[in-house]
Amino acid sequence: MRLLAALLILPLASCATYQPPANATSRIKFVGNHYYAYIGYGDSCKARDMVGKEFWSGAPIKDSTRVWIEQGIDTTGTAFGMKCGFRYSFVPLPNTTYVSEYSMHGSCEIALYRLNENGERIPESSARREPDISCLY
């Protein structure tokens, strides 16, 4: 009976895996010592999808549409449990690569860069910090 109950609850605890949009020409790379990343096309828990590690080196994202990004660490439930993450949004330019860089050195920080034609990082001016949300799946 317990196994059956656990199997019924398991799908409720999971969240959708990110599926890249068709015809996307922009990409975002997730770098740093983070444990998770999410991409969403709306300001809600239901609008976000977990980004699998296979896309951390470059996930296609919709062009010219505000996209919500979350990145951070969550080790709650462990002996050294902590949670430190960020949520922000921006409007990607077509044919552009972005870098979301998470770092934790005493405190956690995040920065969003746009790569220019020479591969140089330029701070993304359309980025804005979004309020944290608590999503229980």
Q: What is the pTM of this model?
A: 0.82
Mean pLDDT (whole number) for 100-105: 88
Beta-sheet pairing, 59-61 with 26-32: antiparallel
- CB 98, CB 114: distance < 8 Å: yes
Alpha carbons 30 and 28: distance in angstroms, whole number: 7
Element containing residue 5 per DSSP (H, E): helix 2-13
pLDDT digits (tens, 9 = 90+) for 60-81: 999 999 999 999 988 777 777 7
